[in-house]
Amino acid sequence: MTASNPIPAVPFALDARQQAARNWFESLRDRICAEFEAIEREAGSDARFDYTAWDREAEGQAPGEGANNQGGGGVRGVMKGKVFEKVGVNISTVGGEFAPGFAQTIHGAADNPAFFATGISLVAHMANPHVPAVHMNTRYLVTTKSWFGGGADLNPPLPHAEDTEHFHGVLKAACDAHDPDYHARFKAWADEYFFIPHRGVHRGVGGIFYDHLECADDAAFDAHFAFTRAVGDAFLNAFPPIVRRRMEDAWSEADYRTMLEWRGRYAEFNLVHDRGTLFGLKTGGNIDAILMSLPPMASWS
């Protein structure tokens, strides 16, 4: 563990697009972690993020997982404090080849399994049941095609209409500034994606989810990269105000039990249905970073 903010070691050359995306995700990590630590200071806590760097080349893939384990890696940041019971913020930049079977499931990789991926992913589980858990990730992938994807969604054990409206409103403003059709499309996509079929319930109150914003030329890259940066900025405008509004709210033992039950639902979704979990496992990612989304405590009745 280290108190500094390391960056992943990447032993291969990046082109200008890849480097620009990587730089953004790493800078966004720094801003988010600083804001979350500031909230802990406001609550009288000295909790800070601990960072663990991991090396994909060193950890590798299981035999047969990929013919060319080119390498790269990431940094897992975790904080456990008074407000954030457990929050993980991960960055990674990796490249190599997908396993043949998995390549068939990835956009643009069916005929050529080579890939590059860089991104940020975070999940926060909160100490107060009135403060919603949250997920956010944005990423840039390159196969025979290149594209941006990501999103953010709110997961309150005890929903408050004011918080839900604020979260959706900030995301809508970010979407509307880039394309008037984005919010309706990506909100519906989030509602469809963040659903637990075996429970018949949504994981939370939604947000936005988008994928395959293809970068066929520089103009498309610039537009989709600008939107992805807007999503990151919107997250910082949407979530911290909700935390500050709710983190001192009184809660009961019944509220806490409700939170543990909904954390169980969150764990079920991430282990059974989440595509990001599978992607990390199939590309030689760090197990602790992949599973940092799991809550510190949960319950099943």
Q: Are the C-beta atoms of residues 44 and 92 closer than 8 Å to each other?
A: no
Task: For residue 176, give Cα distances in angstroms to 43, 76, 151, 172, 183.
Answer: 34, 32, 15, 6, 7
Q: Measured between alpha carbons, how far is 99 from 63 in angstroms, rounded to an integer?
A: 10
135 is catalytic: yes
Q: Measured between alpha carbons, how far is 163 from 258 in angstroms, rounded to an integer?
A: 18
Q: Measured between alpha carbons, how far is 133 from 178 in angstroms, rounded to an integer?
A: 27
Instruction: Give residue for tokens 């991926």.
Output: 117
Q: Measured between alpha carbons, how far is 277 from 268 in angstroms, rounded to an integer?
A: 12
Which of 125, 130, 135, 202 is the catalytic position? 135
Nearest to 228 by CA among 20, 16, 5: 20
Q: Are the C-beta atoms of residues 40 and 78 closer than 8 Å to each other?
A: no
Q: Measured between alpha carbons, how far is 56 from 298 in angstroms, rounded to an integer?
A: 30
Residues designated catalytic: 135
